[in-house]
Chain A
Amino acid sequence: MKYCKFFLIIIFFILILEESLKANNNILLVDKISKNLRCLICQGQSIYDSQSDFAISMKLLIKKKINEGQSEKQIYDLLKSKYGAWIVYDPEINEKTLVLWIFPLILFIFGGILIIRKVFIN
Chain B
Amino acid sequence: MKKNIIYLTTSLFAAFIFILFYIGLEKPNTYIPNQNNKKIIQFSGEDLFTGLKINSNDIISKNKFIIINIWASWCLPCRSEHTNLMDLKNIYNVTLIGLNYKDKSLNAKKFINELGNPFENILTDPNGIISIEIGAYGIPETFIINSESKIIKKFIGPLTKRNIKEISEIIKQ
Please list the residues of chain A having a beta carbon within 8 angstroms of any beta carbon in chain B. Answer: 40-41, 43, 53-54, 56-58, 60-61, 64, 81-84, 86
A53 B128 Cβ-Cβ under 8 A: yes
- Nearest-neighbour CB distance to chain A for B24, whole angstroms, equals 13
Give the nearest-CB partner of B129 in chain A.
A61
Please list the residues of chain B having a beta carbon within 8 angstroms of any beta carbon in chain A. Answer: 29-33, 35, 38, 102, 127-129, 131-135, 137-138
Using A53-B138, A54-B138 as known contacts, say yes or no to A84 and B31 having CB atoms under 8 A apart: yes
Q: Which residues of A contact B30 (CB under 8 A)?
A: 40, 43
Q: Which residues of B contact A58 (CB under 8 A)?
A: 132
B131 A57 Cβ-Cβ under 8 A: yes
Which among A60, A64, A82, A84 has the greatest number of chain B C-beta atoms within 10 A? A82
Q: Which residues of A contact B135 (CB under 8 A)?
A: 82-83
17 pairs across A/B with beta carbons < 8 Å? A40-B30, A41-B137, A41-B138, A43-B29, A43-B30, A54-B138, A56-B128, A57-B127, A57-B132, A60-B128, A61-B129, A82-B35, A82-B133, A82-B134, A83-B33, A83-B135, A84-B31
A78 to B26, CA, bound (A): 30
A56 to B38, CA, bound (A): 25
A9 to B132, CA, bound (A): 43
A41 to B132, CA, bound (A): 12
Q: Which residues of A contact B131 (CB under 8 A)?
A: 57
A57 B38 Cβ-Cβ under 8 A: no
A61 B133 Cβ-Cβ under 8 A: yes
Using A40-B137, A54-B132 as known contacts, say yes or no to A60 and B127 having CB atoms under 8 A apart: yes
Using A43-B29, A60-B128, A81-B38 as known contacts, say yes or no to A53 and B133 having CB atoms under 8 A apart: no
Q: Which residues of B contact A41 (CB under 8 A)?
A: 137-138
Using A43-B29, A60-B127 as known contacts, say yes or no to A53 and B102 having CB atoms under 8 A apart: yes
Which among B38, B127, B132, B134 has the greatest number of chain A C-beta atoms within 10 A? B132
A40 to B30, CA, bound (A): 8
Q: Which residues of A contact B127 (CB under 8 A)?
A: 57, 60
- Nearest-neighbour CB distance to chain A for B9, whole angstroms, equals 11
- Nearest-neighbour CB distance to chain A for B117, whole angstroms, equals 24
B137 A54 Cβ-Cβ under 8 A: yes
- Nearest-neighbour CB distance to chain B for A112, whole angstroms, equals 17
Q: Which residues of A contact B102 (CB under 8 A)?
A: 53, 57
B33 A64 Cβ-Cβ under 8 A: no
Give the nearest-CB partner of B72 in chain A.
A53
Give the nearest-CB partner of B38 in chain A.
A81
A83 to B137, CA, bound (A): 9
Give the nearest-CB partner of B131 in chain A.
A57
